[in-house]
């Protein structure tokens, strides 16, 4: 009998542990990542501020940002129009993968940018 109890306890323990690997984004990818109606002024600007502008703002661009200023829509648009922006964040061949020194943007952030790109990169 005690052996059976041990096995039971082990099964319970293992199934509880499995719960720790569940996370909302993996369980409900479409619920937590809203790619509708993406706006430059809120969504895109927030992603760039968090991930890119530390190197690519007006002040830092000349020292650590390779002279690339992505601050504000008009500056960003230059790098969209010359096709370097999407290639860099998609980590496409032939581009410097961005953010530099970090891993690729989280899936949901990339999806938001792709959705904004599909809408024609509006200044909204």
Name the residues that contact ligand HEC, by CB under 6 A.
51-52, 54-56, 64-66, 68, 79, 84-85, 88-89, 95-96, 98-101, 105
- 35-47: string of b/e by CB count within 10 Å (b at 16+)? beebebeebbbeb
Q: Residue 35 Cβ, how far from ligand HEC at the closest point, in Å?
A: 17
CB of 26 to ligand HEC, least distance (A): 23
Pick 2 or 101: Cβ nearer ligand HEC:
101
Nearest to 115 by CA among 34, 17, 9: 34
Phi-psi region at 36: left, alpha or beta (left = phi > 0; alpha = psi -120 to 50):
beta
Q: Give min distance, CB of 56 to ligand HEC, in A.
A: 5
């Amino acid at each position: 009998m005690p052996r059976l109890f041990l096995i039971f306890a082990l099964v319970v323990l293992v199934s509880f542990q499995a719960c720790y690997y569940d996370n909302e984004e993996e369980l409900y990818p479409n619920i937590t990542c809203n790619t509708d109606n993406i706006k430059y002024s809120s969504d895109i600007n927030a992603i760039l501020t968090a991930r890119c502008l530390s190197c690519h703002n007006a002040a830092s661009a000349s020292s650590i940002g390779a002279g690339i200023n992505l601050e504000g829509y008009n500056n960003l648009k230059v790098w969209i129009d010359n096709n370097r922006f999407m290639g860099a964040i998609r980590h496409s061949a032939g581009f410097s993968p961005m953010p530099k020194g970090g891993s690729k943007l989280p899936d949901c952030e990339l999806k938001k940018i792709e959705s904004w790109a599909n809408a024609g990169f509006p200044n909204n």
